Chain A
């Protein structure tokens, strides 16, 4: 049998290249109405009155009074309304929809609605905690009591906007007592559950279908539930298909982003220079509604000691509510903030205690059998030692760091080490997701994968088909994977958390083995598999204790830069990375994930600026919110290791988020090396670098 990693053409590429793929924006249904959203212009206010214009025939207003069920978007924490009811909590909060056959008229209606507000004092910054978690490992408190030397650091990170190529969009329909939502999304069942709740109806009355999705990066994890609910309510009210598509500025201003953060460290230095105890405090800005911010906080906190084993650890964190656009899921989910912070801090700790940072990091590097931050165990082989050596050799790190550290040299090199827990945190898979997949063999021996996971450009469709075909020993053309439709596929869980290949792919592999055993040519056969947590996993959800993840992917990233002393601009000179994702199911797809993720991470670290002033996002379009173009990218050298994970399909672990996580610290460390000044925040823009170089 040929190696599974050998690349094949991606299932979705031909249609996209030919321009034949139909996205939600392309769909036109009979009698369809276009909807637009009226939004709050205040960060915090009571709505005193809304004056509507006289409505022409065939045009509708849809607001909170039209919601038959809960006016609440079903996300983890239930605080976001579908439509504002009497008060608004951020600029851009949806108040109502206007819908009708002509977009121009709908816009005129939206523009002529008069809302009378009574503004009140908005909350910004880290002052109003709404979620708190903490956990301990060892006994940090007594180490700190006796500590001779305590080193401190405080790090902050900014927003990051997804800039998926296709903005958010859904269509809601209502026919024969059944509501259907079609849209660009990652998680069909999230939307289904949200719509069921908002409509106050039965599961059988709601259907969700994924349209071809033009990128997501986490931005289409929970956010589309809001639009799905709105379109569903509007379709129920009007009896007509409702198309709700955001344009770019609207999407940037009003959809979720990566949480800005501040992370404070205190470390007790031992006599031998090691970190004896670490105290970590995490501040996350959730925006106006909590949504899934509590879970993002957990992932950040669990990563508090990075890839290092630190015996005494005390971690606490809070989610702070502010009157700004709600923040949500974004590739990495709390880990990019923490890995930036811990990688910088361990460097700064080493420098302040007069040690070689690399030696200190190697000394603390976790190895197989070590306890994790939450007192679980790293059960699987950790091959970071080899990976680090490989990265050092490829990049010439040792020679370069020595040379670039000389005063007056504006070149720099930085290296980050990261891990990423694959799948949902703790027992999430077992307790909350309960994934189910089915394989159905038809009489013609074609096999359809029945699962709810979505292709969004990342290659899920190709990878999952490859796994099924590989196990069954049949050609890939015999395996079908359609965009999920909740009426046809079981809930295999959301397409998030680097879980699709490892968890869902694992279930598909198991189902395929089952089908292979039962295989009778020419006969219809249906098999099913359900997720079972490995027996050894123990997780205390309240205390955040035990094995936080079933498996970890690992990465080493090296970035080389040159900083201009004239303009303070950063030129990327070299990028190298080594990843352990168990096993690549398709090499080209993995390299695509790696290059894209690392670019997104580096850009998070040095380029992407988004500021919120008095609750208003300042960079509202792609001219002002800068992401790298092809002209900003340089060739990367990426090595994928083979380190099969026994429970993953063909040994595969998660890969989607890992490459992003280490981009920011690698580039920030490189800039730090180039300018000889300590970097405490990202993005490390030329403006910030100027301040550091000129003022110290």
Chain B
């Protein structure tokens, strides 16, 4: 028999977590599916469960100077309708799941779940998201790339939870987001792609690309990005093949019941081209 804890405050949640090994429910829209049992039977949780989503202190969106701080229990629906949130993240939220799920699912949950197909993740990578993790003893800040270590795997330590997500301000004048699912709503990504670039006076000053659902973790390669920065936008299409080859090495999709590796990879390559075409057009 597992116990359920519904803390009234953030402090209480940290207290409870400090005393035992618990499963954290941060909306539960994926967890309840993972733990589902036969119809009519209780879900099969092995550990006690801490319900975080009722904690109001963790639900906020604050724009501070150059960054946006998002409480981990902010729902995707709140993200979708907040003007403080970068448009790419709102776009990702808009085509996630269905309204019912978006009202319950949280940004912290999507990160903690660490699915390679998590729909907000490529955008969070793009904005160099810092994950603020707290336990009763300490607070630490970890870049999202380091926080998620593999499918369903993170660097969570005992007693820790995600307090907030900090998005660094980024200046883009070309934005690109595409999620490819089996249908327009309520679908798990076959592939997703988020990208942004800033071109000024014909020079690409910044460019970032992140791919979801095509490798164990979201794929972003700063080396490739750095190699493009400073080049003329007018010449970017000449680099396209080299860029595609670069990403081709880090994108390793699989065949599964939703799609196949060949399609996933081809779409990534096409989206790179499509995005670069938009950067070219921005010169």
Contacts and interface: CB of A to CB of B under 8 A. Distances in A.
A626 B182 contact: yes
Given A567-B267, A687-B259, A104 B41 contact: yes
B38 A566 contact: no
A624 B185 contact: no
Interface in A610-627: 611, 618-620, 623-624, 626-627
A607 B183 contact: yes
A631 B184 contact: yes
Nearest to A620: B257
B258 A624 contact: yes
Contacts of A443: none
B274 A103 contact: no
Interface in B89-109: 98
Contacts of A618: 257
A115 interface: no
Given A107-B38, A569-B180, A619 B257 contact: yes
Contacts of B15: none
Interface string A662-694: 000000000000000000000000110010001
Contact of A611 (B187, B257, B274): B257
A632 B180 contact: no
A36 B273 CA distance: 53
A72 interface: no
B180 A686 contact: yes
Contact of B260 (A566, A567, A687): A687
Contact of A632 (B33, B183, B271): B183
B117 to A, nearest CB: 11
A607 B38 contact: no
Interface string B187-224: 11001000000000000000000000000000000000
B269 to A, nearest CB: 10
A607 B186 contact: no
Interface in B24-45: 33, 37-41
B266 interface: yes
A580 to B, nearest CB: 31
Contacts of B40: 34, 103, 245
Contacts of B33: 623
A326 B270 CA distance: 40
Contact of B187 (A103, A245, A626): A626
B188 A629 contact: no
A568 interface: yes
Interface size class of B (residues with CB under 8 A): 20 to 34
A694 B183 contact: no
Interface in A95-125: 103-104, 107
B39 A567 contact: no
Contacts of B258: 624
B260 A107 contact: no
A632 B185 contact: yes
A487 interface: no
Highest count of chain B CB atoms <10 Å: which of A247, A566, A623, A626: A566
A521 interface: no
Contacts of B273: 566
Contacts of A522: none
Contact of B98 (A103, A104, A627, A629): A629
Nearest to A630: B185
Contacts of B37: 107
B185 A690 contact: no
B95 to A, nearest CB: 9
B267 A629 contact: no
Interface in B9-62: 33, 37-41
Interface in A25-83: 34, 36
B178 interface: yes
Given A103-B40, A103-B41, A632 B184 contact: yes
B263 interface: yes
B178 A628 contact: no
A622 to B, nearest CB: 9
A626 B185 CA distance: 10
Contact of A566 (B182, B186, B262, B271): B271
Interface in B59-84: none
A694 B266 contact: yes
A626 B180 CA distance: 13
A458 B105 CA distance: 35
Given A567-B180, A628-B183, A629-B98, A690 B257 contact: no
B185 A629 contact: yes
Contacts of A607: 182-183
Interface in A561-586: 565-569
A687 B263 contact: yes
Contacts of A626: 182-183, 187
Given A247-B39, A618-B257, A629-B183, A567 B188 contact: no
Contacts of A687: 259-260, 262-263
B271 to A, nearest CB: 6
Contacts of B274: 566
A627 B220 CA distance: 32
A539 to B, nearest CB: 43
A107 B40 CA distance: 11
B251 to A, nearest CB: 15
Contacts of B186: 629, 631
B257 A567 contact: no
A566 B270 contact: yes
Contacts of A632: 183-185
Contacts of A609: 182
Nearest to A689: B263
Nearest to B273: A566
Interface in B223-246: none
Contact of A107 (B41, B183, B185, B262): B41
Contacts of B266: 690, 694
B174 to A, nearest CB: 15
Contacts of B182: 607, 609, 626
A567 B41 contact: no
A410 B186 CA distance: 26
Contacts of B38: 36, 103, 107, 247
B184 A690 contact: no
B41 A568 contact: no
Contacts of A619: 257
Interface string A231-264: 0000000000000010100000000000000000
Contacts of A694: 266
Contacts of B191: 567
Interface in B245-267: 257-260, 262-263, 266-267
Contacts of A690: 262-263, 266-267
Interface string A580-612: 000000000000000000000000000101010
A306 to B, nearest CB: 29
Highest count of chain B CB atoms <10 Å: which of A245, A607, A618, A631: A631
A631 B180 contact: no
A526 to B, nearest CB: 43
Nearest to B42: A104
Highest count of chain B CB atoms <10 Å: which of A247, A630, A687: A687
Contacts of B180: 567, 569, 686
Nearest to A34: B40
Given A104-B41, A619-B257, A624-B258, A686 B263 contact: yes
A103 B41 CA distance: 7
Contacts of A34: 40
A136 B283 CA distance: 68
A569 B98 CA distance: 20
5 contacts: A247-B38, A566-B271, A609-B182, A620-B257, A632-B185
Interface of B: 33, 37-41, 98, 178, 180, 182-188, 191, 257-260, 262-263, 266-267, 270-271, 273-274
The 7 closest A-B pairs by CB, nearest first: A626-B182, A631-B185, A247-B39, A687-B263, A618-B257, A631-B184, A566-B270
Given A103-B38, A618-B257, A632-B183, 6 more contacts: A245-B39, A611-B257, A629-B98, A631-B183, A686-B180, A690-B263
